[in-house]
Structure 1
Amino acid sequence: MKVLVVGAGATGGFFGARLVQAGGDVTFLVRPRRAEALRERGLRLTGLGEEEVLTPQLATAGGLSEPYDLILLSVKAAAMHSAVADLAPAVGPDTALLPVLNGMAHLDDLNARFGTARVLGGVAKVVTTLNDDGDIVRLAPLAQLAVGEQDGRLSPRVEEFAALLRTAGVDADASADIVAAMWHKWVFIATLGALTCLMRGTVADINAVPGGPALGPAILAEAASVSAAAGFPVPDAELTATKELVTRTDVPFAPSMYRDVVAGRPAEAEHILADLVSRARGLSVATPLLDLATLHLRVHQHRVSA
């Protein structure tokens, strides 16, 4: 299987590196500046155990001339449209596109451009970040990737890619209900993002003060109500696990959206929160806390973009 990984950041870089280590034919499509850094330092994974250094195959925009079997799209939502334009020459009649962005808006956009049959659903769970040198830092052992056809078929291409990931040491699942899994992760990400960004603190910070432990479950209830109204109720076990996480006092946990906000970087407010509350309006679901968090992040976005 010939794989193109679009983006070599904290998520795409990690899963792409694992595919390389499994012997896959993998090329990374990156910006010229990132390509220069990767040629100088290699693709480095650090944070847990010994540092791993790979010398990846690289391509930049305009350098693609033949189709790939699978394209793993892993970029920030704001960069998706330019990334899609860059990867378009690599899309052939039998190419499968696997986006691993959070939320659902990207799936709608890719379906409209390439057709539903070409686009897979994906849910990535990995706790990584980039350091100042552009190295991928693993913050926890979690490394999961679920992939599936939007219509629920367990197709040969899905099975093959999941098997390749498992060879690479990734907990990979060929899912028969990937769209529901994407909605459920969206609920989780939106809850944690809204909670920590609105309060400008980690989960432990928020739950250490009076009133704090009630906020996370209230935001979760709103997000889960939207998913249920859309036809994808979150299983009770997942709701319980998320509720336990957002009310813990011993975990200084915060999602990447929060880390972006406190660092003064743009956050995926429109893709993760604004789209969710927009769908809530269409489904007649009230989301006052998510509305407030969306407004808060839009102000942040305005400030950092000015």
Structure 2
Amino acid sequence: MRFLIVGAGAVGGYFGGRLSLKGEDVTFLVRPNRCKRLKEQGLHIQSKHGDIHTPVKVISTEDPAAEPYDVIILAVKAYHFSQAAQDIKRFVGDSTVILPLLNGYGHFLKLQQEFGKNRVLGGLCFIETTLDHDGTIIQTSGLHDVVFGEWDGSASARTDAILEHMSRAGFNVKLSGSIQRDVWHKYIFISSMSGITALMNAPIGPILANEHGRSVYRRLIAEIVRTAKLLDAPVKEDVAEITFKIAESLDFNMKSSMQRDIEKGLSIEADQLQGALISAIVENGGDLSEFPVLQTVYGRLKIYEQTSVLSRA
């Protein structure tokens, strides 16, 4: 089975690197600068689950070569999604399946419209990773999980085959029969956790240890869950409590990737996460005044974007 990993950053580089080390046929599709560095220096991962330094197969997004792959794993930041969707077109063959590991929800519908529903699996991941200044992938918590499945929840030979190839690669992988629900639960978790850690500029532990931080976090989760239900998302009735308990189980010092990106002055997924929720509320006739914490989080993120752009200018 031939895998094309789109992006060799904190997510794609980690999972693709472990698949490659296992002996799977893995190629990374990356931007020219990243391509050059990987060809010269290989892929470096520092992880609680074991460090990796290995040569990998890479091709540049500017390389005109085109051939089909069995599985294309999209592992870019959500704000790079549109370009990535264009980049993979020349690698999609008759039997290619696309497995997105992006944050959010809307990209699944866009991929289905572009490539057909049958080509697109549902997928998500849980991992705390970041890129160091030299391109090394730093993985800092016990989480390194991939969950995927057919969008309609059915069983299939192709997902069984993908599971077999991804198993025993040094990370946790699970085949889901309710992937749409899982995607929405992850969306609720990541949009609330990234929002609260960015808003309070602190890891999850200190926020939960403070009664006021804990209260605001619960209110943010509740507002996001109300948004999901406004959209008739297939979520469990107790998803708010599930989300909060997951946060409580995390390492005290765990940060969201959004918070880490803010600390580095990088671009963030505000429009694709919290902004998409704000837009959905408006488009479905909701009253934004009933979502004050979500609005506060989104306002903080947009002000960061404005000021960070000005500081880089």
Bin the TM-score by the shorter chain: over 0.9
What is the one-letter code of the residue matched to 1:37? R
From the superposition, tell whether residues 230 and 169 of structure 1 become closer, same or farther in structure 2 (CA, over 3 Å): same
Report the Cα offset of residue 228 of structure 1: 2.8
Counterpart of 2:110? 109
**After TM superposition, where is structure 1 displaced by more than 6 Å over at least 4 residues in a row?**
247-250
Q: Secondary structure at the match of 2:165?
A: helix
Distance 1:117 1:64 in 2: 25
Q: Structure 2 length as normaliser, TM-score?
A: 0.90
Counterpart of 1:232? 233
The equivalences for 1:198-217 within 5 A come to 198-207=199-208, 209=210, 211-217=212-218
The answer to whether structure 1 residue 18 and structure 2 residue 18 are counterparts is: yes
Q: Structure 1 length as normaliser, TM-score?
A: 0.92
Q: Secondary structure at the match of 1:92?
A: strand
What is the one-letter code of the residue matched to 2:48? L
Counterpart of 2:307? 303
Q: Secondary structure at the match of 1:150?
A: coil
Report the Cα offset of residue 236 of structure 1: 6.3
Report the Cα offset of residue 173 of structure 1: 1.4
Report the Cα offset of residue 246 of structure 1: 5.0
Counterpart of 2:187? 186
What is the one-letter code of the residue matched to 2:140? L
CA RMSD of superposed structures (Å): 2.2
Q: Indicate if the aligned counterparts of 1:163 and 1:172 stay in contact, CA closer than 8 A.
A: no
Q: Percent identity?
A: 33
Report the Cα offset of residue 169 of structure 1: 2.9
From the superposition, tell whether residues 247 and 154 of structure 1 become closer, same or farther in structure 2 (CA, over 3 Å): closer
What is the one-letter code of the residue matched to 2:308? V
Distance 2:178 2:308 in 1: 38
The answer to whether structure 1 residue 57 and structure 2 residue 57 are counterparts is: yes
Report the Cα offset of residue 100 of structure 1: 0.6
The equivalences for 1:67-78 within 5 A come to 67-78=68-79
Counterpart of 1:124? 125
Distance 1:253 1:155 in 2: 36
Report the Cα offset of residue 245 of structure 1: 5.6
What is the one-letter code of the residue matched to 1:45? I
Unaligned runs of 5+ in 1: none
State the Cα deviation string for residues 234-276 of structure 1 (Å, max 9, x = none): 4467543532465799823320111111222111000011001
Q: Secondary structure at the match of 1:69?
A: strand
Q: Indicate if the aligned counterparts of 1:27 and 1:58 stay in contact, CA closer than 8 A.
A: yes
Q: Indicate if the aligned counterparts of 1:64 and 1:87 stay in contact, CA closer than 8 A.
A: no
Equivalent residue pairs, number: 306
Distance 1:174 1:126 in 2: 17
Q: Secondary structure at the match of 1:108?
A: helix
Q: Secondary structure at the match of 2:252?
A: coil
